[in-house]
Amino acid sequence: MTRSEAREIAMRCSYALGYSQQSPEDFLADSVNKELFQRWKDEDGLYKDYPNEKQLAYIREVVKGVAEHGPELDQYIAQYAKNWSFDRIPRTAAAIMRVSMYEILYMPDVPAAAAINDAVEIAKGYEDEKVVSFINGILGSFVRAEFPETGDKPASEGEA
C-alpha cells in the first residue's frame, strides 16, 4: 500500500466518521481491520493490501487529528472558499480538504505540495473537474496565506 492509498483510506474514514456516533478509536477498530479489507478487496482495489504498521499509524493519526481539529479545519475551508458557503461544498470535497489541511498543519514530515497533490488526485476519483479545481485552489490559497514566508510549511525540527 502506498502513502497515497493510506491517505485515501484516511479520507474515507474521516468522511464516514462524520456520520457515526462512535469515537474515532472505536470507528477505526471497526473500519480498519484485516477482516474488512479481506471482504472488500475484490470490490474495491483500495483494499487489496492491508496497511503495514507505519501506514496504520498514519491512518489513525490523520483520522483522530481530523476529528479533533474538525472545527478549525472547517473554518480554514470556509475562509478560503471565496464566494462559496460551507454548506455548498460537497461533503467528500470537505473531507479531502480536511485531511490535506490537517497534514499541512500538524504533520511536519508531510510536504504541503505532496498533501495538496494527493488531495487533488483523490478528488478526481470522487468529484467533477470543477470541484477538483476548487479543492486545488482552496488548498493552494491556504498554504500561500498561512505560510507566506516559504510558500510551504516550515521544515520540521532537525531539518533546515
Q: In this model, does residue 47 exceed pLDDT 70?
A: yes
Q: In this model, does residue 104 exceed pLDDT 80?
A: yes
Burial class (CB in 10 A: 0-12, 13-18, 19+), 70: middle
Percent of the chain at pLDDT exceeding 70: 93
CATH architecture of 69-160: Orthogonal Bundle (1.10)
Q: In this model, does residue 46 exceed pLDDT 50?
A: yes
Number of separate helices (H) and strands (E) present in the chain: 8, 0
- pLDDT tens digits, one per residue of 112-159: 999 999 999 999 999 999 999 999 999 999 999 998 876 565 554 433
58 contact partners, CB below 8 Å, separation of at least 6: 3, 6, 10, 51
- Which triple of cell numbers denotes residue 138? 482552496
pLDDT of residue 153: 58
Cα separation, 129 vs 123, in Å, equals 9
Do the beta carbons of residue 121 and residue 74 sit within 8 Å? no
Instruction: Name the residue ranges covered by the structural domains of the chain.
Output: 1-67, 69-160
